[in-house]
Each structure stands twice: as C-alpha cells, then as structure tokens.
Amino acid sequence: MPFPDVRPRRLRRTPAIRRLVEETKLAPSEMVLPMFVKEGLTEPHPIASMPGVVQHSRDSLRKAAVAAAQAGLGGIMLFGVPTTESKDETGSAGTDPDGILNAALRDVTAEVGDATVLMSDLCLDEFTSHGHCGVLAPDGSVDNDGTLAVYAEMAVAQAAAGAAVVGPSGMMDGQVGVVRKALDAAGYQDVAILAYAAKYASALYGPFREAVESSLVGDRRTYQQDPPNLREALREVALDVDEGADIVMVKPALPYLDVIAAVHASFDVPVAAYQISGEYAMVEAAAANGWIDRDRAMLETLTSIRRAGAQIILTYWALDAAAALRTRY
C-alpha cells in the first residue's frame, strides 16, 4: 500500500492556518512590565542603553501604569531609583515609608487599584551606597542574616504601600521564609511572593545597572548563581517553594531556557522568567543597525521563553508586544 501524500507544509500555507495550529500562544495578560521611578524627576528621563525605556517621574509613572492596565498586561514590577544623597550603607531608603519606591507604590495603587497586578522589587541594591543586594559585614562581604532582617522590614513597608506581590531578588539564603513570616505577622497574608529563585550572575545586567544608577563596585558572584549550574537552580527553587514562594522566577531568560524548562517540569507553582535589560538591548541595537527585524525578533524571543515553560514573562517589551499581538490576531 503506497504512503499517503504527507505534506506538513499544508499547515504552514497561510497566516490563518499557522495561527490555527500554533502550539505556543503569547498573551498580554502573561506579561509584566518592569518600570523605573526616579526620586526628584519632573519628567521622564531616557535610559541610553535601553532605547524606549525611561526613568519615570512619579507623575509619568501614574500615567504609564494606566496605559499598562488598559493594554491588558498581567502586571507591573516597580524599581525605585533614589538620589545619591538618599543612599547609605544599609539602604534605609528602601524601608522608609516615604522613600521613592514606597511612595510610588502608593501612587500606582491609587491610580489603577486592582486593574493590574502591582509588584515591587524587594532588594537593597538600588538603595545602598555600595550597590550590593544586602548589608555588609565588617570584612566587606554581604551579611546574609543581617540582610534578611532588612528584607522583612522592606516587605512589610511595600505591602503597606499597596504591593500585591513582592519580589525578593537578592538571592539571600532563607529570604522567602523570612519575608513570608514577616508579611503574615503584619497581617498581609494575602500578599504573594514572587521569588527570584534562580537568579544567575549574568553579564547581561549592564543596562539595568544604568537604569537604577547602581553604585556597585565588584560583582555579586558570591550570592547569585554560577551560570554553568542547572541542578543547583533546582535546589534553590525547591527551597523557595518549601519556604512559601507563590511564584518562582528564572533570571535571565534566553540564556537559561533549559533552566526554565526544568523548573516548569519539576514544580507545580507558576513559573516566571525575566527577559533582562541586556537581552532587550541586544535586539534593540541590532534592529537599530538594520541587521534584524525588531518586531519579529521581539515576538520570537518571547515565544521561546513561553515555549520553555514560563507562564509569566517580565519584559521591557510588554506594551509593544501587546500591541503587536493585537495586530497579529
């Protein structure tokens, strides 16, 4: 009996057929837009290494939050950028109820309410004069347990300011458990934790450090994960889940698609991935030089992250991707 005329290309013939059978679909509701708000600004300030991304003033942030909600994005992740004068050794501006991040959380809560999910970065690197993610011991190393006490205070301050989700991102051992205990004790049992569970010591954070005006000298390799290690990431995720993480995240995204896939296969909590500043900047730079098609590359990279198993994607392209998807579908 002869073989039938099998032609897989039949299902690729038109855009409509390709849409019908595509196995991985992107949706704006699965994307979270990271946004920066700078203390003292009166108008948005462009970030040179991240074309199209700005440091917001408190006023422009409110308007951008409304646009994000109206676009149907899943959420907003806020990062505060204090002035140099507001930074100190312990990052006290991060726990100050009137510090830039907590003030901005109140602003956005008042502006959009529950129309989108308001998330806040829970880390000290933006607020410390030395640029590390925690407080320092006398020998200059990061004091893990001393940092946990500050994270607990930060979590409560952010919840009080309106954060629906806090994102401990410093890769301190025990951070999720300490934050969960602090939130529960303060009456914020409904505030969720997005754990930066597998955050790698990547070379691709450079533009972000410009965006937050980082004071870092040296590196964070003693507490962020070593890029060659996958099984270590699974141990880190397991610890965070055991401590009460509601969502776990892999960061960066594209160089760690195998880690995203392994986490997705191994755990039954939602998995997020952060398409970080360097990933964004590389595509934008190549597109600006006419070497690649920006919008196709944007959607292709996001689709690969979704295909690997990330249910939630933090991306600076969230608004642009949402617009492109409306046109596509």
Catalytic center residues = 199, 251
Residue 236's closest CA among 149, 176, 167? 176
Between the alpha carbon of residue 294 and those of residues 273, 284, 308, the distances in Å are 21, 7, 21
Q: Count of alpha carbons within 13 Å of 202, Cβ hemisphere only?
A: 22
Q: Under 8 Å CB-to-CB from 152, ≥6 apart: which residues? A: 178, 179, 181, 182
Let me know: does 263 contact 248? Beta carbons within 8 Å.
yes
Residue 329's closest CA among 18, 13, 19? 19
C-alpha 73/C-alpha 320 separation (Å) is 11
Q: Which tokens is 143 given?
A: 């004091």
C-alpha 93/C-alpha 100 separation (Å) is 8
- 9: three-class secondary structure by DSSP: helix
In one letter, which amino acid is 298? Answer: M
CA angle 238, 243, 246 (to 5 degrees): 80
